[in-house]
Chains A and B, each alone.
Chain A
Amino acid sequence: DIQMTQSPSSLSASVGDRVTITCRASQSISSYLNWYQQKPGKAPKLLIYAASSLQSGVPSRFSGSGSGTDFTLTISSLQPEDFATYYCQQSYSTSITFGQGTRLEIK
Chain B
Amino acid sequence: EVQLVESGGGLVKPGGSLRLSCAASGFTFSSYSMNWVRQAPGKGLEWVSSISSSSSYIYYADSVKGRFTISRDNAKNSLYLQMNSLRAEDTAVYYCARVVLGGYAPANWFDPWGQGTLVTVSS
A residues near B (Cβ < 8 Å) are 1, 31-32, 34, 36, 38, 42-46, 49-50, 55, 87, 89, 91-101
B91 at the binding interface (Cβ < 8 Å)? no
Q: Is the pair B47, A98 in contact by a Cβ cutoff of 8 Å?
A: yes
Q: Is the pair B114, A43 in contact by a Cβ cutoff of 8 Å?
A: yes
A43-B95, A44-B95, A49-B102 known; A97-B47 Cβ under 8 A: yes
B residues near A (Cβ < 8 Å) are 35, 37, 44-47, 50, 57, 59, 61-62, 95, 100, 102, 106-116
Q: How far is the CB of A29 from chain B (nearest CB, A)?
A: 9
Kindly list chain A residues whose C-beta atoms are within 8 Å of the C-beta of B112: 43, 45-46
Kindly list chain B residues whose C-beta atoms are within 8 Å of the C-beta of A98: 44-47
Q: Is the pair B109, A91 in contact by a Cβ cutoff of 8 Å?
A: yes
Q: How far is the CA of A95 from the CA of B106 in the complex (A)?
A: 11
Kindly list chain B residues whose C-beta atoms are within 8 Å of the C-beta of A92: 106
Q: How far is the CB of B29 from chain A (nearest CB, A)?
A: 18
Give the residue of B45, B57, B95, B111 whose beta carbon is less than 8 angstroms from that of A46: B111
Give the residue of B37, B57, B106, B113 whose beta carbon is less than 8 angstroms from that of A91: B106
Q: How far is the CA of A16 from the CA of B106 in the complex (A)?
A: 36
Q: How far is the CA of A38 from the CA of B37 in the complex (A)?
A: 13
Q: Is the pair A50, B47 in contact by a Cβ cutoff of 8 Å?
A: no
Q: How far is the CA of A55 from the CA of B113 in the complex (A)?
A: 14
Q: How far is the CA of A31 from the CA of B110 in the complex (A)?
A: 15
Q: How far is the CB of B41 from chain A (nearest CB, A)?
A: 12
Q: Is the pair A95, B44 in contact by a Cβ cutoff of 8 Å?
A: no
Nearest B residue to A93, CB-CB = B106
Q: Is the pair B47, A32 in contact by a Cβ cutoff of 8 Å?
A: no
